[in-house]
Amino acid sequence: QQPVQSPQAVILREGEDAVINCSSSKALYSVHWYRQKHGEAPVFLMILLKGGEQKGHEKISASFNEKKQQSSLYLTASQLSYSGTYFCGTEWAGGTSYGKLTFGQGTILTVHP
């Protein structure tokens, strides 16, 4: 089942902050965050693993609430380069997923000067 992202779109001025949420109805092993610019490849931002480990981008922070199966991506002091579509990809905790990611529908972030 596809995770649900909110909000669907965000418009910011440079320097403002934003939070993007990703919720799953299934127990998760990990949440992966990507940013994609139009027509380009998704670019890896961060992984949050069950148990609290995080791997990824130095300037972006995120959290993973295992009880709620929800992850949040925090974008602070936004820059023009932050514009794009943000996707969360979730990895199911059960069975043998072998890294299969199920992606949310995306959150479009637009940063204006």
Partner 1 sequence: DSGVTQTPKHLITATGQRVTLRCSPRSGDLSVYWYQQSLDQGLQFLIQYYNGEERAKGNILERFSAQQFPDLHSELNLSSLELGDSALYFCASSVSGLAARGDTQYFGPGTRLTVL
Is residue 32 at the binding interface for partner 1, with CB under 8 A as the rule? yes
Is residue 55 at the binding interface for partner 1, with CB under 8 A as the rule? yes
d(CA 57, CA 50): 18
Considering only 64, 72, 78, 91, the residue that binds partner 1 (CB under 8 A) is 91
d(CA 71, CA 48): 8
Cβ-proximal residues to 91 (8 Å cutoff; 6+ apart), any chain: 28, 29, 30, 31, 32, 97, 99, 100, 101, 102
Considering only 30, 71, 78, 107, the residue that binds partner 1 (CB under 8 A) is 30
Considering only 12, 19, 47, 108, the residue that binds partner 1 (CB under 8 A) is 47
Shortest CA distance to 54 belongs to which of 67, 81, 26, 73?
A: 73
Is residue 108 at the binding interface for partner 1, with CB under 8 A as the rule? no
Q: Applying CB under 8 A, what is the total number of residues that bind partner 1?
A: 30
Considering only 12, 16, 44, 108, the residue that binds partner 1 (CB under 8 A) is 44
Cis before 42? omega within 30:
no
- Residues lying near partner 1 in the complex (CB under 8 A) are found at 2, 29-30, 32, 34, 39-44, 47, 49, 53, 55-56, 87, 89, 91, 96-106
